[in-house]
């Protein structure tokens, strides 16, 4: 019996050492995507103009890295300070930790090299070597063309500096360990010729991370077979905002939409004021329509053409549910 107890104790000690060793390796040796490249991004007018278009209307860096005013319809950027960051993802929006969206204006990035920004955008690794949780969809950006990533860097270098700093991200266990394993080396793509409508549309859909928002997920994992079928829930106050089904399903998706109707859905928001006030229970959307309205008609048509080719999924979505979270709180 004593031998058995000693053996079991030995097993427990070995197990603890193995686990401790694994955690130490993960937290100390990872992420490992290589050093930042020694690159110098061109700052010519054409590169900056391309970057402005991408940042403002496609990848929407200045939408996520700004504060949005959801007392107005579609949450326009607050106080005209694009790139200042500051929004918080924490338990109030069911995130397992606390992430303050960082400031990406030159005030905060002045000490970063172009290579360090490039590595952050395409691999999910900060200047100090720490991991970026893919709230920022760097897995999508890792597939952009090198020229487009350069253009993004060139443009954000021109943003008005905003003097703002925020706490470091913190994560609950076990995410605080797993986050170290997430960054991956980039597998950059090539920018298709816009005349190749489907390939170009697929490129834009990836760049905009459309699938991320338009796919239901459980604990951060997309539900297989539900890609682009909508129903992912976002919280604004006590309301649930559920993303739309954008598959070609004719009953619950965009299967009956024409290309012209699809383009018009976006372009209509170019003429709608950003000061449209909404009450806490009025229909609201997380979709930054004002920014997407600035996409070219050709790019929107390419996105539509590509979405017509994806798998059709029948999934009826209730886009807005008022006081959902207030009701849940009252039930406890």
Q: Which stretches of the chain drop beneath a pLDDT of 70?
A: 1-30, 326-332
Record the tokens describing residue 98, joined without a space.
């606390």
The verdict on 216 and 165 lying in the same domain is: no
The verdict on 59 and 118 lying in the same domain is: yes
CA distance 282 to 301: 31
**CA–centroid distance for 120 within its chain:** 13
Angle between helices 297-307 and 197-207 (to 10 degrees): 90
pLDDT in tens, 143-197: 999 999 999 999 999 999 999 999 999 999 999 999 999 999 999 999 999 999 9
In a domain, 28, yes or no: no
pLDDT of residue 332: 47
The verdict on 169 and 268 lying in the same domain is: no
What is the domain range of residue 227? 192-332
289-306 burial, b for 16+ CB within 10 Å, e for fewer? bbbbbbbeeebbbbbbbb
In a domain, 36, yes or no: no
Assess contact for 127 and 116: CB atoms under 8 A. yes
The verdict on 82 and 119 lying in the same domain is: yes
Assess contact for 307 and 96: CB atoms under 8 A. no
The verdict on 138 and 213 lying in the same domain is: no
Total number of domains in the chain: 2
């Amino acid at each position: 019996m004593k031998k058995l107890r000693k053996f079991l104790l030995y097993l427990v000690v070995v197990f603890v050492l193995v686990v401790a060793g694994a955690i130490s390796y993960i937290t100390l040796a990872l992420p490992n995507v290589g050093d930042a490249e020694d690159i110098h991004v061109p700052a010519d007018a054409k590169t900056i103009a391309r970057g402005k278009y991408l940042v403002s209307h496609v990848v929407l860096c200045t939408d996520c890295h700004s504060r949005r005013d959801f007392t107005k319809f579609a949450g326009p950027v607050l106080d005209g300070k694009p790139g200042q960051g500051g929004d918080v993802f924490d338990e109030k929006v069911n995130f397992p930790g606390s992430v303050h969206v960082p400031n990406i204006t030159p005030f905060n990035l002045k000490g970063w090299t172009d290579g360090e920004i490039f590595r952050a955008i395409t691999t999910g690794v900060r200047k100090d070597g720490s991991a970026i949780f893919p709230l920022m969809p760097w897995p999508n950006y890792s597939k952009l063309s090198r020229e487009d990533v350069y253009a993004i860097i060139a443009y954000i270098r021109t943003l008005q500096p905003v003097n703002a700093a925020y706490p470091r991200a913190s994560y609950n266990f076990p995410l605080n360990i797993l986050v170290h394993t997430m960054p991956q080396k980039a597998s950059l793509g090539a920018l298709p010729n816009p005349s190749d409508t489907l390939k170009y549309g697929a490129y834009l859909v990836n760049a905009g991370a459309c699938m991320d928002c338009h796919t239901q997920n459980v604990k951060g994992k997309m539900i297989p077979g539900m890609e682009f079928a909508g129903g992912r829930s976002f919280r604004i106050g006590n309301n649930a905002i559920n993303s739309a089904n954008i598959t070609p399903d004719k009953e619950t998706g965009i299967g009956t939409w024409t290309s012209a109707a699809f383009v018009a859905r976006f372009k209509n928001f170019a003429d709608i004021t950003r000061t449209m006030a909404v009450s806490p229970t009025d229909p609201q959307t997380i979709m930054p329509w004002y920014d997407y309205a600035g996409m070219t008609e050709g790019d929107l048509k390419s996105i539509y053409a590509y979405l017509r080719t994806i798998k059709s999924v029948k999934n009826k979505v209730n886009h807005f549910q008022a006081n959902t979270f207030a009701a849940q709180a009252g039930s406890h």
